[in-house]
C-alpha cells in the first residue's frame, strides 16, 4: 500500500513540476558572430541564403531598429548578459573578462528554477560559469568550426522538468572563414558590393565566404527549431536571433555607424505574441534583452540594470520604450574612444581620439577587401565613402541625417541647418555620460597591432592595458 502511495505521489509530483515548467516560457538566445543587419534575407538581402531565420521572421517579429552597445565581441556579449553599457560592466575592452561582482541574468533565471545551458562561443570570462548548469568553455566539448555542434545536443540532454534558458553562440561569421566547403554556397557575380568597399573579384570572393558562414549559422538555427518542435515546446519558447557586432569588414566591425552597431533581431514566440509576421520600427538596445527576458520569466529585474524591458513591443509592435540608443567603441586591437547617440532621425558621433584613423580591427586589416581598398588608395582613386577608414585627423563631432543618408556617409555637423538637432543630441550624450559614469581616461590602452598591416606590433605595448573607461 505504501509503495502504491509513494508511486502515486511521485507521479503527481512529476506532472505538477512538468505543468509548472510549461507555465513559464522557455528561452533560446542565439547569437551570430560578426554579422550586420543587411546580411540576412528577411532584411532585404537577395543573395545570402537564410531560409530558417527568414521563416522565423515571417512567423514572429522582426525588429528594424535594434542596436548593440558595442561592435566588439566580448564587450558586446558582456553587455547582453548583464543589461549594462560596456563602461559600466568593468569589461569595456576586447578580451577583458566580466568581473565576479557582475550578475549575469541567466544566473537569476537559474535561481528561479530554470535549467540554464550555454553552447558555442564563450568570450566572457570564468565569472559567468556560475550562471549555467552546463557550458562548453574549457569543458572538453568539440563545438565544431562554426561553434554550433552542441546546440541540438544540449537541447536533447536538458532537464525535462524545468523551463530552460539556452545561450547558443556561434563563431560564424568570424574570420578566418571555415564554411566554404559547407553544402551551402553563393555566387560572387550576384553579390552587391557596399559602396565603401572596392568592387574587385577579391572583395566579392571575401563577401561570398562571409555569406557561406551566415548560411551555416542559419542551418543550425533551423536544426534548433526542429528539435524544439520534436519536443513539443516550440510554441512556448522565446527564440531570439541576433548578432554581437557588425560584419568583419572595413568600416563595419568596431565602428559606431549602423554597419557596425545595427543588429538583425528576430523574436519568435508563437504562444506569447499576438501579431505574427509583424515588423517593429521601435528603438531597442542589446542591454534591453536582459530585463525583458527576466520580466517575461517572472523574475525581478535588478535595480542596477541599465536596459529597459521591451515586452510591450511584443504585444504592440508600434509601442515605444526609448527615444534614443547609445553605443561606444573602446579598445579592440587599437586605441579608441568613440561614443554614439542615435535616434530614428539622426546619428551623433563623438570621437575622443581624432588624431587617430579608424580603420577597423586587425582581422579586417588583413582581409582581401581591405587589401583591395589599399590598392585603390595607392592609385589615388578612393571615393569619399572609401576614404573614411584612412582619414586622419578625424572630426571630433559627426552628425548624420538618416532620412537623407542612411549609410552615414555625409557628415553635416558643421551645416547651419542642423545646429539645433546637433545641440540636442550632444546634450543627450553628455547627460548619458554623467548618468552612467562614463569617463575618458588619458591613459587608454595603446595599439597592439600595426594600423596598416594588422600584424602584431613589437614595440612593447602588446598585452599592456591602460585605463578602461567607466567602472574600475
CA–CA distance, 92 with 126 (Å, rounded to integer): 16
User: Which residue stretches of 130-278 are H helix?
Assistant: 151-156, 201-230, 258-261
Instruction: Estimate to the nearest angstrom the gap between the alpha carbon of 81 and the chain centroid.
Output: 11
Contact 196, 248 (CB under 8 A): no
Task: Output the CA torsion sign for 264, 270, 272, 274.
Answer: positive
The alpha carbon of residue 86 and the mean position of all alpha carbons in its chain are separated, in whole angstroms, by 13
- Considering the chain, what is the average pLDDT of its residues? 95
Q: Looking at 9-23, 147-161, 262-276, 351-365, which range is the least confident one?
A: 9-23
What pLDDT does 383 receive? 96
Q: Give the Å distances, CA to CA, from 91 to 79, 286, 447, 471.
A: 9, 16, 18, 9
Integer Cα distance of 280 and 289 in angstroms: 15
Residue found by looking up cell 534575407 in the block: 41
Confidence of residue 17 (pLDDT cuts 50, 70, 90): very low
pLDDT, residue 463, reads: 84
| Cβ–Cβ < 8 Å for 279, 60 | no
Predicted pLDDT of residue 460: 72
Q: What is the CATH number of domain 24-324?
A: 3.40.720.10
What SS3 class is residue 280?
strand
C-alpha span between 457 and 463 (Å, rounded)? 10
Residue predicted with more confidence, 130 or 14 = 130
Q: Which three cell numbers stand for residue 453?
A: 598591416
Per-residue confidence (pLDDT) for residue 22, from 0 to 100: 52
Gap between the Cα atoms of 472 and 469, Å rounded: 8
The per-residue b/e assignment along 232-257, b for 16 or more CB within 10 angstroms, e otherwise, is ebbebbbbbbbbbbbbbbbbbbbbbb
Encode pLDDT of 189-246 as tens digits: 999 999 999 999 999 999 999 999 999 999 999 999 999 999 999 999 999 999 999 9
Fold of 327-436: Arylsulfatase, C-terminal domain (3.30.1120)
Q: What is the pLDDT of residue 5?
A: 46
8 Å CB contact between 339 and 352: yes
Q: If you search the block for the grid coordinates 574570420, which residue do you land on? A: 175
Mean pLDDT calculated for residue range 389-401: 97
Write the DSSP assignment of 154-190 as a string of letters. HHHTS-TTS-EEEEEE--TTPSSP--TTSS----GGG
Q: At what angle do helices 201-230 and 51-59 cross, to 10 degrees?
A: 60
Let me know if 3 is exposed, middle or buried by CB neighbors in 10 A (0-12, 13-18, 19+): exposed
- How many residues appear in the chain? 472
Of the chain, the percentage scoring pLDDT greater than 70 comes to: 95
- C-alpha cell, 99: 568581473
Q: What is the mean pLDDT of residues 94-121?
A: 98
Of residues 248, 260, 240, the one with CA closest to residue 213 = 248
Quick: pLDDT tens for 372-393.
999 999 999 999 999 999 999 9
Using the predicted structure, report yes or no on whether residue 21 has a pLDDT greater than 80.
Answer: no
Q: Are 311 and 291 in contact (CB under 8 A)?
A: no
Q: pLDDT class for 459, splitting at 50, 70, 90?
A: confident
Residue 400, beta-bridge partner list: 347
Candidates 438, 436, 439, 445; CA nearest to 467 is: 445
For CATH 3.30.1120, the residue range(s) in the chain are 327-436
Query: Is the preceding peptide bond at 125 cis, omega within 30 degrees of 0?
Result: no
Report residue 268's pLDDT band, with 50, 70 and 90 as the boundaries. Answer: very high
What Å distances lie between residue 243 and 29, 37, 67, 266, 315, CA to CA? Answer: 10, 8, 10, 10, 23
Per-residue pLDDT band at 185 (split at 50, 70, 90): very high
Rg of the chain over Cα atoms, rounded to whole angstroms, equals 23
Q: pTM for the complete prediction? A: 0.94
- Kindly report, as residue ranges, where domains of CATH 3.40.720.10 are found in the chain: 24-324
Is the predicted pLDDT of residue 3 greater than 90, yes or no?
no
What is the rounded distance in angstroms from the CA atom of residue 107 to the CA atom of residue 345? Answer: 37
Amino acid at each position: 500500500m505504501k509503495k502504491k502511495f509513494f508511486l502515486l505521489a511521485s507521479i503527481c509530483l512529476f506532472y505538477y513540476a512538468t505543468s509548472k515548467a510549461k507555465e513559464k516560457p522557455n528561452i533560446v538566445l542565439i547569437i551570430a558572430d560578426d554579422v550586420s543587419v543587411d546580411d540576412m534575407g528577411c532584411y532585404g538581402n537577395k543573395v545570402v541564403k537564410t531560409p530558417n531565420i527568414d521563416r522565423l521572421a515571417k512567423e514572429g517579429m522582426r525588429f528594424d531598429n535594434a542596436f548593440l552597445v558595442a561592435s566588439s565581441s566580448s564587450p558586446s556579449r558582456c553587455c547582453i548578459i548583464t543589461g549594462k553599457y560596456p563602461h559600466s560592466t568593468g569589461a569595456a575592452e576586447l578580451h577583458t573578462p566580466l568581473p565576479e561582482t557582475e550578475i549575469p541574468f541567466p544566473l537569476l533565471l537559474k535561481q528561479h528554477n530554470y535549467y540554464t545551458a550555454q553552447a558555442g562561443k564563450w568570450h566572457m570570462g570564468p565569472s559567468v560559469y556560475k550562471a549555467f548548469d552546463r557550458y562548453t568553455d574549457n569543458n572538453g566539448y568539440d563545438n565544431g568550426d562554426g561553434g554550433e555542434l552542441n546546440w541540438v545536443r544540449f537541447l536533447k540532454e536538458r532537464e525535462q522538468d524545468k523551463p530552460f534558458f539556452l545561450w547558443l553562440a556561434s563563431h560564424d561569421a568570424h574570420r578566418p572563414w571555415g564554411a566554404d566547403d559547407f553544402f551551402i554556397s553563393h555566387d560572387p557575380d550576384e553579390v552587391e558590393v557596399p559602396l565603401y568597399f572596392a568592387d574587385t573579384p577579391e572583395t566579392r570572393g571575401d563577401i561570398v565566404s562571409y555569406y557561406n558562414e551566415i548560411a551555416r549559422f542559419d542551418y543550425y538555427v533551423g536544426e534548433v527549431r526542429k528539435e524544439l518542435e520534436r519536443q513539443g515546446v516550440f510554441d512556448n519558447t522565446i527564440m531570439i536571433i541576433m548578432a554581437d557586432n557588425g560584419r568583419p569588414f572595413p568600416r563595419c566591425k568596431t565602428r559606431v555607424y549602423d554597419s557596425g552597431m545595427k543588429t538583425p533581431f528576430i523574436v519568435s514566440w508563437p504562444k506569447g505574441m499576438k501579431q505574427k509576421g509583424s515588423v517593429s520600427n521601435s528603438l531597442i538596445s542589446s542591454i534591453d534583452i536582459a530585463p525583458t527576458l527576466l520580466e517575461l520569466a517572472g523574475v525581478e529585474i535588478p535595480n542596477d540594470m541599465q536596459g529597459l524591458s521591451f515586452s510591450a513591443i511584443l504585444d504592440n509592435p508600434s509601442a515605444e520604450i526609448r527615444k534614443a540608443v547609445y553605443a561606444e567603441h573602446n579598445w579592440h586591437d587599437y586605441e579608441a574612444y568613440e561614443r554614439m547617440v542615435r535616434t530614428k532621425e539622426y546619428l551623433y558621433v563623438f570621437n575622443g581620439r581624432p588624431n587617430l584613423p579608424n580603420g577597423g580591427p586587425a582581422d579586417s586589416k588583413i582581409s582581401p577587401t581591405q587589401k583591395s581598398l589599399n590598392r585603390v588608395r595607392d592609385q589615388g582613386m578612393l571615393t569619399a565613402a572609401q576614404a573614411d577608414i584612412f582619414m586622419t585627423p578625424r572630426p571630433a563631432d559627426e552628425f548624420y541625417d538618416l532620412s537623407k543618408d542612411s549609410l552615414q556617409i555625409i557628415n553635416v555637423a558643421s551645416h547651419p541647418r542642423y545646429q539645433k538637432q546637433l545641440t540636442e543630441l550632444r546634450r543627450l550624450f553628455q547627460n548619458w555620460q554623467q548618468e552612467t559614469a562614463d569617463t575618458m581616461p588619458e591613459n587608454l590602452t595603446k595599439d597592439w597591432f600595426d594600423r596598416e598591416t594588422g600584424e602584431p606590433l613589437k614595440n612593447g605595448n602588446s598585452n599592456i592595458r591602460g585605463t578602461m573607461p567607466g567602472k574600475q
